[in-house]
Chain A
């Protein structure tokens, strides 16, 4: 099915999540949709699959306008979406899930007929799933296969896959890609949303890159069968695709480093043979030592494990192996409180979810930090300290302003004001996300002042300019691998693009 999206707009409050987005996916092609987190690609596919209603714009399917207001509408039009976390019913069996997700609603269920249909479809794609297994016992890859089969049984002509290759094995990935290619040959269209350049390169015919809610570029990776036939040319892979995609995602020229030298000789953070693992990722880092006053920037597509790495260094996640030392202290497998005592501080990206407490005022946050000194709150001291923080950090708010009423920039300033002192290691995600230029400069001024006092900073950012400007050394996370650190001054847009694309 040919899918056309014309001039889609969607606002969430002040955020223009989709700003005049147009996209055409030809029948019989696999179309990659790329972009950083927050680029608007999820919003776009959710609009197409009916989970979100658009503010304006048109959806045209096979030349006819479609009125999609709900997921059920979308499925009736033949659009099926595979979510990153499978939307199924884990306590039920495979065949029960298959029936529960069916558009046909007969008065009586016919489990045997459903099982026959299910097994026949599975055989077509070489999927091997026991129809009587409990879905909760399946792997993510198998649940994905179940979902594909269910959507096809409902007559889907377009499949949308959101990050489908996270958390599945290599053989399942091969199986998945074979199935998708086969579906494309049958004339179905596939929209493949991903962070992973290697997967996109391997699978997709075309890619569309989004950034900040807009389409910033399109690229044909492979000539489609129809076009090939017309041109009489053999299918060819365009060279150096990854670098071009990265360029579109992040922009062309890198900024120049602006940070003064602040590092001292003493090593403050040492990681050895660190192994990081969660249900989606497994990574290891052989050795990293960070000096006092040094700034390490972490580049990479979002979701490549940066957060897991920072949380592990902060003592909020346990490493699967290896050791973490701060100064002379071995903190491996120590509780978070010991990390705090050793002068480690973590500033999360999602300030209101992980960093600040909605409903409490600035002064109460300050008092919370003073907690442990006696039983009764020293209001006078807390008020004085809050006033001082507001003045020093230029927070636009009063001591009794609750934090959720502050703007994003002022929330970040509050987080910075709450940092303990002295501080040995500061771990940050997106230190200046959502801030205007002036605030960004100001925040970094504060951070560099901290470096001069001997704090080492490790931060992740999706803004490559920020990374190159303020880091001493840069490490890149890509597809489950972590690069060795490279001096920021030696980086070029090209080399960084290659590394983010997975070629170290």
Chain B
């Protein structure tokens, strides 16, 4: 194919920025069509995300598990795996954490059997183990069963959600009435502490940032990260060069499952304080988007994840102030991602290579 000379050979950043500008134009057009002014809509969304402490708290409460999921997905993506099972790994981590809390604070008891901080810490650990189990299950199906990790992951997502719903309506149902709103909330002593009266918890934010920092170091500075990239880019050649490929793949599933499971546990102890059917709140899928947008490079995850968290919370304001559908936020997100990917593709295809 011949390239139009006008758009070829420019610096790669040009294509990315250009795509972003075009996506903003599209978004403005769509907002105009739906009968509002783009400027006021954006203003309202910014206000919705950062207007008061509550709203900022909510943004941070969304950001924390998102960071964990995105950090975990860096490993699987770099190993060349599309781990769509991350949702199920969150859910199963949440189930495991709920199980532990029900054991240490049985129904009808008046106090936790363990000191609450220890119980919460244990719940997070057990949540991580649950996520690891679910991740390794997908990994084993992929590595030993030769099933596409996409299908294995999606299948296990359904299974995890199914188990959650069964538990909510069956063995773990609220005394008296089972309901979609979830299990009986835990005693407040088992709730994770928050920043003031907001929804954000320091522990979750800390764990998210820690996971991200850990991931950046692993991917940039360790042999493990290098081997992971080698396996992801060319499994066969990496194996011939002496990289234990299966172990690398399973390790990627292990770490991603661990981070996702911890995120699931945090949703339970920090956010909802009970198990609900949609405990993952689609954070796993959002994490996939974030990692794809940053081209699997963990360094850029924090700003992008923050942006998406703010967008999600800010858009809750739309129906209130303008009577606009809040699904408009989904459209905006979709357009941003779509154009970012187009910009990335163009930059790779036509962008000037270093040294040319």
Residue pair B230, A377 in contact (C-beta under 8 Å): no
Interface membership of A369, Cβ < 8 A? yes
Known: A368-B230, A372-B223, A375-B224. A357 touches B239 (CB 8 A): no
Give the CA-CA distance A122 to B55 in the complex, in Å. 75
Residue pair A360, B227 in contact (C-beta under 8 Å):
no
Q: How many residues of B contact A (CB 8 A)?
A: 20
A377:B222 contact, CB within 8 angstroms: yes
Chain B residues touching A, majority SS: helix
A348, A371, A375, most chain B CB atoms within 10 A: A371
B237 touches A367 (CB 8 A): no
Interface string of A351-395 (1 = CB under 8 A from B): 011111111100011011111111111000000000000000000
Q: Is A340 an interface residue (CB 8 A)?
A: yes
Q: In the complex, are the beta carbons of A353 and B222 less than 8 A apart?
A: no
A135 CB to nearest B CB, Å: 21
B223–A353 CB distance below 8 A = no
Does chain A have a CB within 8 A of B5?
Answer: no
Which of B67-75, B241-249, B334-342 forms contacts with chain A?
B241-249
Q: Which of B221, B226, B240, B243 contacts A346 (CB 8 A)?
A: B240
Q: Which residue in chain A gives the minimum CB-CB distance to B221?
A: A376
Task: Indicate whether B24 reaches chain A with its CB closer than 8 angstroms.
Answer: no
Residue A377 contacts which of B223, B234, B238 (CB distance < 8 angstroms)? B223
Give the CA-CA distance A316 to B240 in the complex, in Å. 8
A-contacting residues, B306-356, CB 8 Å: 353
B102 contacts A by Cβ under 8 Å: no
B234 and A368 within 8 A (CB): no
B226 touches A358 (CB 8 A): no
Nearest Cβ distance between residue A370 and chain B, in whole angstroms? Answer: 8
Closest approach, in angstroms, between the C-beta of B353 and any C-beta of chain A?
Answer: 8
Give complex CA distance A373, B242 in Å. 14
What is the bound-complex CA distance between A374 and B226, given in angstroms?
13
Residue of B nearest to A316 (CB): B240
Which of B223, B224, B230, B244 is A357 in contact with, Cβ under 8 Å?
B230
- Whether the Cβ atoms of B237 and A371 lie closer than 8 Å is no
Produce 1/0 per residue, A237-279, CB < 8 A to B.
0000000000000000000000000000000000000000000
Establish whether residues A354 and B243, one from each chain, have CB atoms under 8 Å apart when the complex forms. no
Q: For the complex, give the distance between the alpha carbons of A369 and B237 in Å.
A: 12
- Are the CB atoms of A337 and B240 closer together than 8 Å? no
Q: How far is the CB of A386 from chain B (nearest CB, A)?
A: 13
Contact with B along A18-36 (1 / 0, CB 8 A): 0000000000000000000
Given contacts A368-B241, A418-B241, contact A375 B222 (CB under 8 A): yes
Given A316-B240, A368-B243, A418-B241, CB of A357 within 8 Å of CB of B226: no
Complex Cα–Cα for A372 and B242 (A) = 10
Write the nearest CB–CB distance from A342 to chain B, whole angstroms: 12
- Contacting pair B238 A357 (CB below 8 A): yes
Nearest Cβ distance between residue A352 and chain B, in whole angstroms? 8
Contact A336 B226, CB 8 Å, known A357-B233, A358-B234, A376-B221: no
Known: A337-B244, A360-B229, A368-B230. A355 touches B237 (CB 8 A): yes
B227 / chain A contacts, CB cutoff of 8 Å: 368, 371
Q: How far is the CA of A346 from the CA of B227 in the complex (A)?
A: 19
Pick from A352, A355, A373, A376: contact of B240, CB below 8 A. A355
Return chain A residues, CB-CB under 8 Å to B230: 357, 360, 364, 368
Please, which residues of chain A bring their CB within 8 A of the CB of B224? Answer: 375
User: Which residues of the other chain, B, contact A346 by a CB distance below 8 angstroms?
Assistant: 240
**B237/A354 in contact, CB under 8 A:** yes
Q: Known A368-B243, A418-B241; judge A358-B233 contact (CB<8 A).
A: yes
Interface centre among A356, A358, A365 (most CB of B within 10 A): A356
Which of chain A's residues 284-329 have a Cβ closer than 8 Å to chain B? 316
| Interface members, chain A 331-355 (any B CB < 8 Å) | 336-337, 340, 346, 348, 352-355
Select the residue from B222, B240, B244 with max chain A CB neighbours within 10 A: B240
Contact B229 A367 (CB under 8 A): no
CB < 8 Å neighbour of B237 from A357, A374, A377, A405 = A357
Q: Which residues from B are CB-within-8-Å of A373? A: 223
Interchain nearest-CB distance for B256 vs A (Å): 20
Interface pair A377/B221, CB less than 8 Å apart = yes
Q: Which chain A residue lies CB-closest to B244?
A: A337
B229 CB contacts on chain A under 8 angstroms: 359-360, 364
A365-B241, A418-B241 known, 15 other contacts, Cβ within 8 Å: A316-B240, A353-B236, A353-B237, A354-B237, A357-B234, A357-B237, A358-B233, A358-B234, A367-B223, A367-B226, A368-B241, A373-B223, A374-B223, A375-B222, A405-B353
Q: Can you list 12 residue pairs at the A/B interface with Cβ under 8 Å?
A: A354-B236, A354-B237, A356-B234, A357-B241, A359-B229, A360-B229, A364-B229, A365-B241, A368-B238, A369-B241, A377-B223, A405-B353
| Closest 3 pairs between A and B when the two form their complex, measured CB to CB | A371-B223, A357-B234, A359-B233
